Amino acid sequence: MSNIAILAGDGIGPEVMTEAKKVLNTIAEQFNITINTKDYDVGGAAIDRHGNALPEATMQGCQQADAILFGSVGGPKWASLPPTEQPERCALLGLRGHFDLFCNMRPATLQPALSSLSTLRSDISEQGFDVLIIRELTGDIYFGEPKGRKGEGDDETGFDSMFYSRREIKRIAHLAFQAAQKRNNKVTSVDKANVLATSQLWRQVVEEVAVDYPQVTLEHLYVDNAAMQLVRDPNQFDVMLCPNLFGDILSDICAMITGSMGLLPSASLNADGFGMYEPAGGSAPDIAGKGIANPIAQILSAALMLRYSLNQDNAAQCIENAVASALDKGILTADLLPAEQKHNAKSTSEVGDYICQTIKQQIM
Ligand code: NAD
Ligand code: IPM
Ligand code: MN
């Protein structure tokens, strides 16, 4: 029996979470496993109800759970609150920091058969790609202190501190090399070592860790070049090892070249294997409330949860197959269709229903 804390959050979060819960129920039925889900308020929704983006009851529910399935938080309504009270900083970074979820994995794949979904030119997308972004998630300029604003008028300054310790770099680098060993034995480490001291340490420590993995090829790329190379030829990459900020930016590129921001799931794990699972995209205020958001990133995040936290690899694979089938059969939300075909778009719940049906058919 597994207990899952469900934190749907804001914007499209609750819409796509409804579909992920449907999928989890279907999986529980078909695989005869017990998955107890319990909903907790988080983000702007929690500010509106309780005056706090990460209420104590939510934190306790997460502490007692076997894993957290997270939607997305934030939106214009809460963007002018003091920074530490905002949904992103207080709730999302709060949870990542509290549980020390330093290892964020964002797998971005494009099957050649689905290359028409990609925003890349067809001769590039036809090659397909399979990139795993491993993003350090609890350090860097996100968490470094001091951070803030001081002074007045034209003398006012805003400042953030970029820090990495040798320990932080080592632990994420080991995980990247270990992941590469199970894949195509290549790690591309991303930094800005031509400018940043944190990146110079990053590069040196990654080199040192690489010695333990002689069968894995290591290359280093500056982040600006890495962004360009992802768009030029993503098929050259296997594992991309990124500091927090660069991994954030590169993962949005990775999402889009697979077809949509709404396709990219992620797993955020700590050293004990405890995990929070969330789409790489956000609350998408521009499409929230319309029933048109793509639920696949949330559904694939639930699959990662089954694989990494509940040890249910077959169930995870079954969801991934059903998602591949939806994409293959053209059961697509509007984000995946060109303008002239948007009238054929399926709704969020139609895509979720198709995936549930396909899971049942696979098991029968
Ligand atoms: P966003 O990822 O929410 O949206 C960027 C674009 O991608 C939008 O056009 C949106 O419609 C589209 N998109 C994203 N997910 C989609 C989906 N599932 N289906 C179809 N289209 C999708 O980024 P943003 O607009 O910069 O941020 C909006 C809010 O979300 C901000 O408050 C931001 O801080 C927050 N955010 C939260 C998380 C999180 O909670 N994990 C992640 C990223 C951004
Ligand atoms: C993500 C998001 C978050 C991040 C924001 C909302 C704090 O963009 O998960 O990619 O930058 O990590
Ligand atoms: Mn992001």
Long-range contacts of 357-362 (CB under 8 A, 24+ apart): 358/321, 358/322, 358/325, 358/326, 359/23, 359/26, 359/27, 359/30, 359/318, 359/319, 359/322, 360/26, 360/30, 362/318, 362/321, 362/322
Ligand 1 center to residue 280 CA distance, Å? 8
pLDDT tens digits, one per residue of 43-61: 999 999 999 999 999 999 9
Ligand 2 closest atom vs CA 74: 6
pLDDT tens digits, one per residue of 259-292: 999 999 999 999 999 999 999 999 999 999 999 9
8-state DSSP, 150:
E
In terms of Cβ atoms closer than 10 Å to its own Cβ (0-12, 13-18, 19+), residue 121 is exposed
pLDDT tens digits, one per residue of 135-168: 999 999 999 999 999 999 999 999 999 999 999 9
- Rounded Cα distance between 201 and 139, Å, is 14
Ligand 3 center to residue 250 CA distance, Å? 9
Helix (H, G, I), strand (E, B) or coil at 128: coil
- Residue 335 a catalytic site member: no
285 is in an annotated binding site: yes
Q: Is residue 73 pLDDT above 90, yes or no?
A: yes
pLDDT tens digits, one per residue of 172-204: 999 999 999 999 999 999 999 999 999 999 999
Interface ipTM = 0.99
286 is in an annotated binding site: yes
Element (H, E) at 240: strand 239-242
DSSP 63-75: HHSSEEEEEE---
Question: Taking the model in full, what pTM does it have?
Answer: 0.97
**The two structure tokens encoding residue 16:** 């796509």
Q: Which residue's CA is the nearest one to ligand 2's atom 7?
A: 88
> In order of start, what are the domains of the chain with their CATH numbers?
1-101+270-364 (3.40.718.10), 103-263 (3.40.718.10)
Closest to 295 (Cα-Cα) out of 273, 257, 274, 264: 264
